[in-house]
Structures are given as C-alpha cells and as structure tokens.
C-alpha cells in the first residue's frame, strides 16, 4: 500500500475500514480500459513530488488508464435518525454513524470500494449517491431512488460497489428526497497525484447551510410552495456557533464551537472544499492567505492562485494553503452570497479558526479582518479552470437546447415546480428507470423526464438556457460523466455568435448556470446507463429540476440485478405500512 495514509491526520478514517489485498472482486468490469503504462522508473509521491504516483503520474489519462491496485476497501455506513446540536441548537438530524459529516471513505486511485449501507431511519427510505464517481459500467450503484434503485427500506441494507477510477476530494450523500439537508452526507477522499506540492492533506472541509427546523419541515411549510424561509446558520465541517443569549428556546443550548485547524508556519496544507449546501452559495476565504486551486470536482487543474473561492452546492475544489503569514489566529470564512432569494440570518458569521502553532494566545478568537472580496454567485472564471490533462472536444453528433423554467400547480395544492426541457421530473420510487429498462419497457412515463441518447462514443452538446426570468443561479450536476463547459454567462446563447471553447475547456461534474443565462456543456457518450442531470439546490431538485439521460439503452447491462431486485422487493414489502408518502420529485 502507498505511504499516503500516513500523511493523513484522520485517525477515524481507519476505523471501520477493512483492507482486502488481492481480493477476487477485482477490476473485471472495466478490464478493457486497463493498460499498464510502459515506465521503467517508478516515481514516489512525496511532499516534493506530488505529481508522481508510482508507475503512473499526473499526466496519466485517467479516463483510459486506471492503476490495478488489487485492493478492495470495505466500509459500513449506518443512516440514523438522531438528536444532535452541530451549532449548539438541538434538533432532529439525520446522520451516517452519528456524525456530521459522516465517516470518511478513503481509497487510493484504482481501488475497488465496497460500501454496505444500512437504513436505521425509522420513517424514511434512503439511497446513497457517490457524487462525481463516474460509475463506468456500474450504473446500478449510482444511488438514485426511482432512477437506479428502489429506496432502501427502514431496517434494510444495500451493498454498493464501484471502482475509484478518478482521484481527489468528493462526497457521498443521500439522494432520497431532501435528506442530505438534514445531515446525511460524508467525505470521499481518493488519493492520487496532484498538480502542485503540499506537505499535509488535511482532508475534506464541508460547507453547509444549516437551519434549526428540519429540512422536511422547511419543505412542507415553505419550499414546496415556492417559499423562501430565512435559514438560521451554516456549518464549517459540521460545526459552528450560534448566539443563544437572550433566547428562551430550550433547544438553544449555546454549546456550538468554531471549526479549528492548526498550521505550522512554513508548511503547505491541502484541503478539499466540498459544497454540501442546500441552496446558499458560499465564498470561502482565509484572512491574509491565498488559495492555490489544484482541482475542480475530481479533475486536476493547472494551479492558480486566488484570494477567495465561490463554492456552489455540489461543487468541490482542492486547494493548497501556504502557512506563510506571521504567527497569529486567522478567521476562515464561508460567506453566504447575496444572490438568489436566499436569506441566511448568520451569513457573515459562518467562521472557522486557523491557529499558527507557537502563537502564545491559542484560545482567543482571531482579530483579523478581510478586505473586499466579491459577493456574487458567478462560477469561478472559465479561464482559470484549465484541466491539467488536455482534452479537445470533438464536433457535436447532436446539439439540443434544454430550457429551464417553472410553474405553479395551483389546483394541486399550490405546489411549485421547476422544469427542464419543458418538463418537471417526478419519479416513482418503486419503479426505477433501470428496472424498467431491464424489463424492456419501451415507453417511459412522461414525468420521468427522460432524454434518450443513442450515439455511441460521440460528443453530445447541451445548451442549458434559463428562460425563467427569475435571475436565480443553479449549480447543474451531471451523474456518470465529467462534462466540458463550452460556454457560460448571462443572457441567451446565440448559435454562431456566442463563442464556445472546444480547446481543453473546464471539465467537471457541477457548474453554475448564470441567472437568466446559459450554460453550454458537452460530454462523450461512453457510459451506458441512466444518468440524472439536476440542479444541486436541494429544494429545486425536489421541485422537479432534473432530467434523466438514458444513454445507449440497448447496452445497459446490470451486472448485479439481484441487488437491485432485492432492494425493490423489500421496499415493496415496506410501503403498505409506511408512515409518510412521497411529496416531492423523489430525488
């Protein structure tokens, strides 16, 4: 095994981890993609050679070449319904193994990962999505209820299996309704080479907006009807303070703590920022320090330096922070941006603390301030996000405009819906698309919002055009692929007039659609399956802002149909007695 684990400060990562070397569950499903690089010298990944990775390195085309480690990492996760006070306000939350964020899933690039998920939540199903993992030929483990599986019924378990074909920082989260917003999420770290050197990898850093009501209450009372409740707070890696002085609310305990990190002067730290927000866009900055960005989502980029970085829900950035300031305490900020009609009553007080080792006062709050940083929801500049691995986008086999809009279902109880391609998505958990495909169903229900892609190993372009007139920003997330961002900006995309970039454009799985604007993406049709594309604002997804790309339907093969079928059988057995019914899109 590689030496990287020893650089990892996270003791708990090892807990619950079983390492099976040369297990039989090897890489057979993607064997055709595997080639061994002809290299006579092997280069070790160290603090001063992060581009190295044994026989492989940062130049390896990870879309075609995956290290055959022969290692399988096995984890057990338990989804629970518990009482907790992440910011010192006690409420019902949902959590994996009792913590927010949940346990870290760690693997090396090329490893097989097996995760057993048990649903101990009393009154909800669940399903876990491994965000950003391409699931090449393992569509059935993508974890979307009603799309790739039935929900896991209370008391039941499901085992997910996938190969870590990419590397970097990502996360797993429930894709069942709005559960993720109540805490059901955790980090995934896949060790691999990097585009810049660092001394220590501090792990993932979750950026979360956090209310004192449960997401399900917010949904039923406001969001379902298109309301915009004032959100109470936000969390940095699962923690923050909340001012309970003068509050007579017994749940307001005042026990919240700031997130803290200690830096040793002179060292370079890698951190994986993960946008886990329900809807708030957060701009992250560390007073007096800059960030060197080395990856967006699971794609290494040519390093660039910035004072702050805007993280939308579902986006990830791996950054390096150089501890080159004077010994002191510094504020780490996650500032909720003033766009979309998103209100957070603690928007400027979502803070963490970085303390330099050796600074005498290591208990006080920092006194540092920050100069002007932008307050916008614009995605990071396309010109900044240059993938290290240069890929050119081929000409379009097909090109389609997907309009974004909304409507109210007034007679149906004044329910708010978003639409994409003129249709809102609403799936039936008991009849996942993948099962319909397996059963040979040729016509899908209209509200499954299916877009069929038939070209094989071709480029398809999609012009996502906001015609809602609402000036709201939407982080658009695609499952099963990295997409290429050919253009984005305000206003309408005009064919032949609006410039598009095919020469190594930004490549990632979540990009922000500009308010009243356009986002033009392309991807290569190399992964048969049914892949969701949706807004990662959790409320919008529940309001139907999603479609399914059914890619190369005739070639979709479910290697392990029994796992899918068993999960459906136990879901069917559970539903006659279920306490709550589906009241959203389902995803």
Ligand X SMILES: *[C@@H]1O[C@H](CO)[C@@H](O)[C@H](O)[C@H]1NC(C)=O
Applying CB under 6 A, which residues contact ligand X?
10, 15-16, 75-78, 81, 92, 97, 101, 103-104, 121-124, 177, 187, 202-205, 214, 216, 237, 261-262, 271, 288, 290, 292, 305, 322, 324-326, 328, 362, 368, 390, 392, 503-504, 561-562, 565, 569, 580, 582
> Which is closer to ligand X, CB of 260 or CB of 399?
260
What is d(CA 419, CA 546) in angstroms, rounded to the nearest whole number?
7
Q: CB under 5 to 8 A by kind: which of ligand X, Cu ion, none does 325 bind?
A: ligand X
Task: For residue 347, give Cα distances in angstroms to 208, 237, 375.
Answer: 12, 16, 12
Whole-number minimum distance, CB 460 to ligand X, in Å? 21
Q: 406 near 418, Cβ under 8 Å?
A: yes
Whole-number minimum distance, CB 535 to Cu ion, in Å? 3
Q: What is the DSSP letter of 442?
A: -
The residue assigned the tokens 């900020």 is 333
Whole-number minimum distance, CB 339 to ligand X, in Å? 26
Whole-number minimum distance, CB 124 to ligand X, in Å? 4
What is d(CA 492, CA 47) in angstroms, rounded to the nearest whole number?
46
- Residue ranges of alpha helices (H) inside 413-480 are 433-438
Q: CB under 5 to 8 A by kind: which of Cu ion, ligand X, none does 288 bind?
A: ligand X
Whole-number minimum distance, CB 97 to Cu ion, in Å? 30
> Which is closer to ligand X, CB of 29 or CB of 262?
262
Q: CB under 5 to 8 A by kind: which of Cu ion, ligand X, none does 76 bind?
A: ligand X
What is d(CA 307, CA 254) in angstroms, rounded to the nearest whole number?
32
Q: CB under 5 to 8 A by kind: which of ligand X, Cu ion, none does 540 bind?
A: Cu ion
Q: CB under 5 to 8 A by kind: which of Cu ion, ligand X, none does 204 bind?
A: ligand X
Q: 586 near 148, Cβ under 8 Å?
A: no
Q: CB under 5 to 8 A by kind: which of ligand X, Cu ion, none does 414 bind?
A: none
Q: 500 near 520, Cβ under 8 Å?
A: yes
Task: For residue 285, give Cα distances in angstroms to 161, 166, 198, 335, 375.
Answer: 36, 27, 19, 8, 12
> Which is closer to ligand X, CB of 40 or CB of 439?
439
Q: CB under 5 to 8 A by kind: which of ligand X, Cu ion, none does 474 bind?
A: Cu ion
Q: CB under 5 to 8 A by kind: which of Cu ion, ligand X, none does 24 bind?
A: none
Q: Which residues are CB-neighbours of 534 under 8 A, at least 6 positions away? A: 420, 425, 476, 477, 540, 541, 545, 546, 547, 587
Question: How is residue 34 written in tokens?
Answer: 């595997």
Q: Does 540 bind Cu ion (CB under 5 A)?
A: yes
> Which is closer to ligand X, CB of 23 or CB of 290?
290
Site size with Cu ion, rule: CB under 5 A: 4
> Which is closer to Cu ion, CB of 244 or CB of 339?
339
> Which is closer to Cu ion, CB of 84 or CB of 470?
470
Q: CB under 5 to 8 A by kind: which of Cu ion, ligand X, none does 535 bind?
A: Cu ion
Query: Strands, E, within 276-348: which ranges?
Result: 282-286, 291-296, 299-306, 309-311, 316-322, 329-336
Q: What is the DSSP letter of 87?
A: T
Query: Strands, E, within 175-281: which ranges?
Result: 185-191, 200-210, 233-236, 259-263, 268-275
Binding mask 427-466 for Cu ion (x = CB under 5 A): ----------------------------------------
Q: CB under 5 to 8 A by kind: which of ligand X, Cu ion, none does 334 bind?
A: none
Whole-number minimum distance, CB 201 to ligand X, in Å? 9
Whole-number minimum distance, CB 586 to Cu ion, in Å? 16
Whole-number minimum distance, CB 375 to ligand X, in Å? 19
Whole-number minimum distance, CB 47 to ligand X, in Å? 15
> Which is closer to ligand X, CB of 92 or CB of 468?
92
What is d(CA 37, CA 57) in angstroms, rounded to the nearest whole number?
10
Q: CB under 5 to 8 A by kind: which of Cu ion, ligand X, none does 537 bind?
A: Cu ion
> Which is closer to ligand X, CB of 67 or CB of 132?
132
Q: What is the DSSP letter of 36?
A: -
> Which is closer to Cu ion, CB of 321 or CB of 537?
537
Whole-number minimum distance, CB 81 to ligand X, in Å? 4
Q: Residue 288: left if φ>0, alpha if ψ -120 to 50, beta else—which one? A: left
Which candidate, 258, 84, 79, places its Cα nearest to that of 185?
A: 79
Whole-number minimum distance, CB 2 to ligand X, in Å? 18
Considering only residues 461 to 480 of the shown chain, the ones binding Cu ion according to CB under 5 A are: 474
Q: Which residues are CB-neighbours of 278 under 8 A, at least 6 positions away? A: 178, 180, 181, 209, 215, 231, 313, 537, 538, 539
Residue 326 burial (CB < 10 Å; 0-12/13-18/19+)?
exposed
> Which is closer to Cu ion, CB of 121 or CB of 537?
537
Q: Residue 132: left if φ>0, alpha if ψ -120 to 50, beta else—which one? A: left
Q: CB under 5 to 8 A by kind: which of Cu ion, ligand X, none does 97 bind?
A: ligand X
Whole-number minimum distance, CB 355 to ligand X, in Å? 7
What is d(CA 150, CA 142) in angstroms, rounded to the nearest whole number?
12
The residue assigned the tokens 């907790």 is 84
What is d(CA 215, CA 236) in angstroms, rounded to the nearest whole number?
18
What is d(CA 120, CA 78) in angstroms, rounded to the nearest whole number?
7
Of 144, 164, 252, 537, the residue at the interface with Cu ion (CB under 5 A) is: 537
Residue ranges that bind Cu ion, judged by CB under 5 A: 474, 535, 537, 540
């Amino acid at each position: 095994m590689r030496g990287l684990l020893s650089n990892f400060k996270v003791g708990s990562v090892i807990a619950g981890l079983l390492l099976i070397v040369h297990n039989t569950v090897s890489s057979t499903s993607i064997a055709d993609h595997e080639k061994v690089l002809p290299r006579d010298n092997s280069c070790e990944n160290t603090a001063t050679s992060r581009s190295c990775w044994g026989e492989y390195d940062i130049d390896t085309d990870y879309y075609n070449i995956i290290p055959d480690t022969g290692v399988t990492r096995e984890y057990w996760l338990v989804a629970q319904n518990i009482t907790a006070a992440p910011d010192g306000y006690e409420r019902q939350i949902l959590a994996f193994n009792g913590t927010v964020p949940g346990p870290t899933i760690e693997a090396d690039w090329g490893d097989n990962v097996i995760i057993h998920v048990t649903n101990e939540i009393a009154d909800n199903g669940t399903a876990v999505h491994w965000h950003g993992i391409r699931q090449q030929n393992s569509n059935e483990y993508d974890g979307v209820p009603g799309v790739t599986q039935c929900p896991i019924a209370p008391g039941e378990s499901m085992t997910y299996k996938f190969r870590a074909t990419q590397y970097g920082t990502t996360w797993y989260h429930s894709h069942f309704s709005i559960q993720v917003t109540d805490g059901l999420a955790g980090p995934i770290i896949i060790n691999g080479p990097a585009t810049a050197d660092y001394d220590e990898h501090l792990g993932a850093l979750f950026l979360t907006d956090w209310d004192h009501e449960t997401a399900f209450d917010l949904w039923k009372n406001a969001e379902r009807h298109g309301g915009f409740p004032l959100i109470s707070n936000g969390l940095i890696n699962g923690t923050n303070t909340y001012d309970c002085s003068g509050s007579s609310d017994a749940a307001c305990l005042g026990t919240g703590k700031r997130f803290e990190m200690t830096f040793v002067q002179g060292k370079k730290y890698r951190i994986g920022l993960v946008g886990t927000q329900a809807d708030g866009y957060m701009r992250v900055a560390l007073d007096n320090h800059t960030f060197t960005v080395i990856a967006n989502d699971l794609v290494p980029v040519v390093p660039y330096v910035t004072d702050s970085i805007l993280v939308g829900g579902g986006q990830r950035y791996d950054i390096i922070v150089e501890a080159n300031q004077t010994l002191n305490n510094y504020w780490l900020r996650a500032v909720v941006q003033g766009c979309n009609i998103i209100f957070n009553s603690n928007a400027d007080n979502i803070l963490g603390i970085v303390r330099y080792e050796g600074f005498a006062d290591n208990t006080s709050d920092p006194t540092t301030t920050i100069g002007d940083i932008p307050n916008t929801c614009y995605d990071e500049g396309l010109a900044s996000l240059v993938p290290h691995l240069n890929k050119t986008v081929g000409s379009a086999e097909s090109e389609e405009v997907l309009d974004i809009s909304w409507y109210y279902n007034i007679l149906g109880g004044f329910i708010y819906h978003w639409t994409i391609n003129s249709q809102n998505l609403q799936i039936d958990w008991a009849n996942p698309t993948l099962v319909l495909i397996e059963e040979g169903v040729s016509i899908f229900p209209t509200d499954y919002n299916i877009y069929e892609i038939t070209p094989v190993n071709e480029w398809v372009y999609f012009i996502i055009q906001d015609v809602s007139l609402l000036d709201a920003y939407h982080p658009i997330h695609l499952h099963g692929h990295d997409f290429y961002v050919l253009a984005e900006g305000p206003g309408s995309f005009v064919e032949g007039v609006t410039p598009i970039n095919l020469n190594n454009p930004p490549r990632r799985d979540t990009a922000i659609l500009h308010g009243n604007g356009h986002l033009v993406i392309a991807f290569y049709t190399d992964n048969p399956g049914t892949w969701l594309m949706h807004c990662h604002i959790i409320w919008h997804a529940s309001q139907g802002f999603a479609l399914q790309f059914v890619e190369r339907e005739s070639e979709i093969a479910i290697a392990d149909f029994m796992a899918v079928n068993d999960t459906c059988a136990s879901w069917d057995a559970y539903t006659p007695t279920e306490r709550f019914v589906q009241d959203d899109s389902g995803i």
